[in-house]
């Protein structure tokens, strides 16, 4: 940094090799000496200065490697807008540099601890939101990036560009498995690519190789094949970084702006064209572990790439009308035909889809995804991400045509096979399949008919119910779907088909028995309390509310509350369950009636107006002990615990 501190008007030019050596010394100090990285990270002026060195191609790799290490330990997130001429810097990068820059950017746009989001208690998250009302640094950085001209367009090009067609020897994939263990960083790979290229040039001019690395390359039988296999792993590693950045931006506050750009720059059709040749060109074992959501997952580039791709699809289709870009024109026509045949209006989002931006080729991306999903081994962690991606296509207001499109492709039977017959033990995979099954079957009489055809014996039905009952936190969304569907079907008794399925379907008959609904209700309220509520299990509270709202509509609320009271006494815990439920509902009011909370999800997924949710909670929390619909009426005086405010902690 010295040249910036001299009095001379004209700054002396530093020698590139000197800069490289300085960076190399600093990098090695960081690796070998504890505390060096932290003390460098504490100097904001130094960190920002490092970014200015990235304009020089010769020192780019060394600079990027050092920046990545420093940002990894930096206490406060760096503000991208503080980097001198960031826009010019990014525009000066070639595509390779931009991909490596994405690796650095991922640290600056992700919220800290984002990977454990589902596990954090809602009490803690709500308290934190109150403290941090203004946009976080990560959010400010996201806006800074979106304002760089051409940034998103270049990322879309990087994400969708093809690797050169020739793939060298057929067994290069096996080589990758041996190589990736020490090529864990795209930057290391870049350095190797550089060396491999130089080595090839030397050998072609008849000169002796210059280093022991090159000698081993020259005598190795892999020598001719390696550069091509490296190119593929290289491209995959670039794409992992790029997809991660796009995914974070898609989940941020600027979601609609990002969506518009990704559609315009044809990200989805581009990924569709890469699907068979690159993304899912072979089966990759994933060790039965559901890999975390963070970008630093220590799995192979192949696995990281597939997971990032599936996460991107999930973020892209979740509650957004652009989800129809995952289909091609023929498939969109098929959806229109399904609506026409069922005599229901087409979904507005489908009508509004710009046909010039959808997938091309014989199959759209969603259909390709279904095909590989069916071939995946039972406990493969990809199943979790695949199911999440397909489920997000169905989420939002229920669309009969979308469900039928997937039912016609055998998705229901595939899910049931996995839950009942495949011996799948992974809780994460089962949860994602339960959630998907719930979205696929909700309010759809044809789906219940198909269910009954597959679950044709008592044994199969018992296995299915055992899986549901083994963890209600995992299966409660499916329970909610069955309860809601049953309620709707019971009001459609003029329809012959509905009446027939209602009388024959084992699942609907099971849920129609009031004692079974009450058993679910009792357990749903029992598995959670205010202190342990998280994004993952709060659905149990909402499912229990759905059961009670439907009971209230039919004038049965007092009966349900009284049964819960009797159950408490039978279990020798008077007041315990109802006090807990009362506290949960008070938390519900604070959480969902907050002006920032989006209640449309609850309304869309249940088809119950949000006002009715609010009203039911108010009635249940009523303080009049003579009201038959107030929880307080069912807790005997000695066991009242309602004045203690658990929510103030």
406 by Cβ neighbours in 10 Å (0-12 / 13-18 / 19+) ranks as buried
Q: In the numeric block, which tokens belong to residue 542? A: 């909402």
Is residue 204 within 8 Å of 218, Cβ to Cβ?
no
User: Using one digit for the tens of pLDDT, what is the confidence trace for 373-391?
Assistant: 999 887 788 999 999 999 9
Rounded to the nearest 10 degrees, the angle between the axes of helix 95-109 and helix 186-204 is 160
Please tell me which of 115-119, 152-156, 531-535 the model is most confident about, judged by mean pLDDT: 152-156
Q: Decide which of 641 and 35 is more confident.
A: 35
Distance CA 324, CA 123 (A): 36
- List 121's β-bridge partners, or say none: 534
Q: Model confidence at 646, in pLDDT bands (50, 70, 90)?
A: very low
Can you tell me the distance from the alpha carbon of 606 to that of 616, in angstroms, rounded to the nearest whole number? 14
Across 595-616, average pLDDT: 88
Instruction: Give, in order, the Cα–Cα distances in Å from 116 to each of 75, 125, 389, 598.
Output: 19, 12, 19, 21
Non-local CB neighbours of 308 within 8 Å, separated by 6+ positions = 239, 240, 243, 244, 247, 295
Distance in angstroms (rounded) separating the CA atoms of residues 283 and 367: 18
C-alpha angle 441/559/555, rounded to 5°? Answer: 70
Please give the span between the terminal C-alpha atoms of the chain, in angstroms, as a whole number: 49
Q: What is the pLDDT of residue 301?
A: 80
CB atoms near residue 408 (< 10 Å): 12
Is the per-residue pLDDT at 136 higher than 50? yes
pLDDT band at 6 (very low <50, low <70, confident <90, very high): low
Query: Among 611, 314, 561, which Cα is nearest to 436's?
Result: 314
Report the alpha-carbon distance of residue 536 to residue 129 in Å, rounded: 18
> 166 near 227, Cβ under 8 Å?
no
User: How many CB atoms are located within 10 Å of the residue 109 CB?
Assistant: 23
Residue ranges of domains in the chain: 16-149, 410-512, 550-648
Q: How many whole angstroms separate alpha carbon 351 and alpha carbon 576?
A: 52
Q: State phi, psi for 534 to the nearest 5 degrees.
A: -130, 175
DSSP annotation of 277 reads: I
| DSSP state string for 64-110 | HHHHHHHHHH-SSPPPGGGSTTHHHHHHH--HHHHHHHHHHHHHHHS
| DSSP codes of every residue in 303-337 | HHHHHHHHHHHHHHHTT-GGGGGGSBHHHHHHHHH
Distance (Å, whole) CA 69 – CA 311:
26
**Count of C-beta atoms within a 10 Å radius of residue 85:** 12
Percent of the chain with pLDDT over 90: 61
Q: Is 534 helix (H, G, I), strand (E, B) or coil?
A: strand
- In the prediction, which pLDDT does 609 show? 95
- Show the CA angle centred on residue 20, arms to residues 18 and 23, nearest 5°: 110
Per-residue pLDDT band for 287 (boundaries 50, 70, 90) equals low
Mean pLDDT over all residues of the chain? 85
Residue 276's closest CA among 168, 387, 369?
A: 369
The number of CA neighbours under 13 Å toward the Cβ of 269 is 16
Q: Confirm if 454 and 405 have CB atoms less than 8 A apart.
A: no
Q: What is the pLDDT of residue 268?
A: 97
- The confidence score (pLDDT) of residue 186 equals 52
Handedness of CA 628, 634, 640, 646 (dihedral sign): negative
* pLDDT score of 229 more than 70: no
Give pTM, 2 decimals. 0.85
For 206-243, give the secondary structure using H, E and C.
CCCCCCHHHHHHHHCCCCCCHHHHHHHHHHHHHHHHHH
In the prediction, which pLDDT does 2 show? 65
CA 476, 482, 487, 492: dihedral to nearest 10 degrees? 160
Above 90 in pLDDT, residue 113?
no
Q: At what angle do helices 496-504 and 472-490 cross, to 10 degrees?
A: 140
Secondary structure letter of residue 12 according to DSSP = P
Q: For position 562, what pLDDT does the model report? A: 95
**Quick one: pLDDT at residue 351?**
94
Q: What phi and psi, each to the nearest 5 degrees, are found at residue 508?
A: -70, -40
Higher pLDDT, 341 or 34: 341
Q: What burial letters (b/e) apply to 427-455, b meaning 16+ CB within 10 Å?
A: ebbbbbbbbbbbbbbbbbbbbbebbbeeb
Task: For residue 136, give the DSSP letter.
Answer: P
pLDDT above 80: residue 133: no
* Residue 91 CA from chain centroid, whole number: 30
pLDDT digits (tens, 9 = 90+) for 524-541: 999 999 999 998 899 999
pLDDT at position 188 is: 57
Distance CA 292, CA 309 (A): 14
Does pLDDT of 582 surpass 90? yes
Cα dihedral 511→516→520→525 (10° resolution)? 130
Tell me what the mean pLDDT of segment 40-48 comes to: 92
């Amino acid at each position: 940094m010295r040249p910036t501190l001299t009095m001379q008007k004209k700054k002396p030019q530093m020698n590139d090799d000197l800069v490289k050596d300085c960076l190399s010394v600093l990098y090695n100090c960081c690796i070998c000496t504890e505390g060096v990285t932290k003390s460098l990270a504490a100097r904001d002026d130094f960190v920002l200065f490092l970014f200015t060195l990235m304009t020089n191609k010769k020192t780019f790799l060394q600079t990027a490697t050092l920046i990545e290490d420093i940002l990894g330990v930096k206490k406060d997130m760096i503000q991208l807008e503080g980097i001198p001429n960031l826009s010019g810097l990014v525009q000066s990068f070639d595509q390779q540099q931009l991909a490596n820059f994405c690796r650095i950017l991922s640290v600056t746009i992700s919220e800290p601890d984002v990977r454990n989001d589902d596990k954090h208690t809602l009490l803690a998250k709500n308290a934190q939101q109150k403290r941090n009302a203004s946009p976080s640094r990560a959010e400010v950085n996201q806006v800074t990036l979106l304002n760089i001209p051409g940034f998103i367009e270049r990322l879309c090009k990087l994400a969708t560009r093809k690797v050169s067609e020739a793939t060298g020897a057929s067994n290069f994939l096996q080589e990758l498995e041996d190589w990736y263990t020490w090529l864990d960083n795209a930057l290391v790979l870049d350095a190797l690519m550089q060396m491999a290229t130089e080595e090839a040039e030397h050998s072609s001019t008849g000169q002796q190789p210059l280093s022991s690395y090159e000698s081993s390359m020259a005598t190795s039988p892999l020598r001719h094949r390696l550069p091509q296999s490296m190119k593929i792993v290289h491209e995959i590693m670039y794409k992992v970084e790029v997809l991660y950045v796009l995914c974070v931006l898609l989940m941020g506050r600027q979601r609609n702006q990002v969506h518009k750009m990704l559609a315009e720059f044809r990200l989805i059709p581009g990924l569709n064209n890469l699907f068979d040749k690159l993304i899912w060109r072979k089966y990759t074992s994933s060790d039965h572990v559901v890999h975390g959501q963070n970008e630093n997952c220590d799995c192979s580039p192949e696995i990281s790439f597939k997971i990032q791709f599936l996460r991107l699809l999930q973020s892209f289709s979740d509650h957004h009308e652009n989800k129809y870009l995952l289909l091609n024109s023929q498939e969109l026509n098929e959806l229109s035909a399904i609506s026409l045949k069922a005599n229901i209006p087409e979904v507005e989002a489908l009508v509004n889809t710009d046909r010039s931006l959808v997938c091309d080729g014989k199959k759209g991306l969603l259909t390709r995804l279904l095909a590989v999903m069916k071939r995946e081994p039972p406990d493969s962690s990809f199943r979790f991400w695949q199911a999440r991606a397909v489920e997000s296509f169905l989420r939002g207001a229920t669309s009969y045509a979308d469900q039928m499109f997937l039912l016609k492709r055998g998705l229901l039977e595939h899910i049931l096979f996995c839950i009942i017959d495949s011996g799948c033990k992974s809780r994460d995979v089962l949860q994602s399949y339960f959630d998907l099954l719930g979205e696929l079957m909700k309010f759809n009489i044809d789906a219940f008919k198909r269910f009954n055809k597959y679950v044709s014996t008592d044994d199969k039905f018992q296995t299915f119910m055992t899986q549901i009952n083994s963890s209600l936190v995992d299966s409660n969304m499916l329970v909610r779907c069955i309860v809601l569907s049953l309620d709707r079907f019971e009001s459609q008794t003029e329809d012959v088909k509905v009446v027939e399925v209602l009388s024959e379907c084992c699942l609907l008959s099971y849920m129609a028995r009031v004692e079974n609904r009450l058993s679910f209700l009792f357990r749903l309220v029992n598995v959670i309390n205010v202190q342990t509520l998280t994004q993952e299990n709060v659905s149990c509270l909402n499912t229990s509310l759905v059961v009670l709202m439907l009971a209230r509509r039919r004038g049965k609320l007092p009966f349900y509350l009284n049964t819960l009271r009797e159950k408490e006494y039978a279990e020798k815990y008077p007041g315990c369950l109802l006090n807990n439920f009362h506290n949960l509902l008070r938390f519900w009011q604070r959480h969902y009636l907050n002006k920032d909370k989006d209640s449309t999800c609850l309304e869309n997924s249940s088809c119950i107006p949000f006002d009715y949710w609010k009203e039911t909670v108010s009635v249940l929390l009523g303080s009049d002990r003579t009201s038959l619909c107030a929880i307080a009426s069912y807790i005997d005086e000695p066991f009242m615990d309602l004045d203690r405010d658990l929510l103030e902690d």
